[in-house]
Amino acid sequence: MGQKKKYTPQIAAVASAVALSLAAWGAAVLTDTEAEARDGAGAGAQHEQRVPPTQDGKAPEPVKPAKVPESIAHATEAGGKSVNITIDDGPDPNWTPQMLDILKENGVKATFCMVGPRAKEYPTLVKRVVAEGHRLCDHTMDHDTTMDKKPVAYQKQQILDAKRLIEEAAGGAKIDYYRAPGGAFTPDSRKIAAAEGMRPLGWNVDTKDFERPGTAAIVGAVKNELSNGPTILFHDGGGDRSQTVEALRQVLPWLKQQGHPTSFPVRTAP
């Protein structure tokens, strides 16, 4: 056996310093990990993170959604000549996939305003919308265009129940906007939506495709009314949307030719 080294005060000091350094490094790593979980910054973070109980054993307060304005949004995030493509009333097993194909062919992202029960019925479509980089919008449970004349409790039920169903269908993906059916916003409904992190979303160009006026009329509405503002309204639900599919096929290349890139509706204050 080799000769045992003598333990000296100098060696003890070095060992102590190394131990303190390792402890500090470990604490820093733990702090970074905890911060990442709290902020949802990890890859693919979609859900509210679990928060450990407080020292007194009480359950912590739930993490609140990021605050967004209660005012109705029309502008684009990108600004300039960009436009927002918004598609309402789906998802629909026939028309939504066709519209998604056209959007993909043109390299365009859109905002899909979904009705809660429809999202629950077709979760695969909801997940496809999310997977292809589009955004989600809460369009209530029953698409009641008279909900602005109903009690606040009813409005809240329509908005929050739909939000829950869409989130479940989407596998927990975030819902960025709320659009009232037929534009039936109220100060209360806007407040309810904003408190849940959903920006109230309006439109500037009503293509009236819901009435099936013909493909040419839908395309013409976009060309004639785009000066009103950047947010364009289409539908993928509520009936035969073959005219909308063909109009979208024509409108997207035209927008690009006219120097109108696509964006998403603004969510935060300027």
pLDDT tens digits for range 118-127: 999 999 999 9
According to DSSP, the residues that pair with 136 across neighbouring strands are 112
* pLDDT of 47: 32
- Per DSSP, 145 falls in state T
- Per DSSP, 259 falls in state T
Residue 30: phi, psi to the nearest 5? -60, -40
Q: What percent of the chain has pLDDT over 90?
A: 74
Catalytic residue set: 88, 235
Cα dihedral 122, 233, 175, 135 sign: positive
Per the listing, tokens 């950047």 go with 230
Q: How far lies 101's CA from each of 21, 121, 245, 249, in Å?
A: 56, 21, 10, 10
- Domain definitions of the chain by residue range: 10-40+48-63, 83-263
- Per DSSP, 201 falls in state B
Please count the other Cβ atoms lying within 10 Å of the Cβ belonging to residue 178. 28
Residues 6 or more apart whose Cβ sits within 8 Å of residue 102: 245, 248, 249, 252
Q: What percent of the chain has pLDDT over 70?
A: 75
Q: What is the mean pLDDT of residues 96-124?
A: 98
**By CB neighbour count within 10 A (0-12 exposed, 13-18 middle, 19+ buried), where does 255 fall?**
buried
Cα dihedral 217, 222, 223, 224 sign: positive
Q: Which helix (H) or strand (E) holds 135?
A: strand 135-138
CATH code, residues 83-263: 3.20.20.370
- Per DSSP, 156 falls in state H
pLDDT above 60 (res 6): no
SS3 114: strand
Is there a contact between 244 and 90 (Cβ–Cβ < 8 Å)? no
- 45 vs 105 pLDDT, higher one: 105
Q: What pLDDT, in 10s, does the model give residues 48-87? A: 333 444 455 555 555 556 689 999 999 999 999 999 999 9
Is there a contact between 170 and 127 (Cβ–Cβ < 8 Å)? yes
Q: What is the mean pLDDT of residues 103-123?
A: 98
- Per DSSP, 148 falls in state G
* pLDDT of 67: 84
Q: What is the mean pLDDT of residues 120-139?
A: 98
- 270 vs 111 pLDDT, higher one: 111
Confidence of residue 168 (pLDDT cuts 50, 70, 90): very high
SS3 83: strand
pLDDT above 70 (res 246): yes
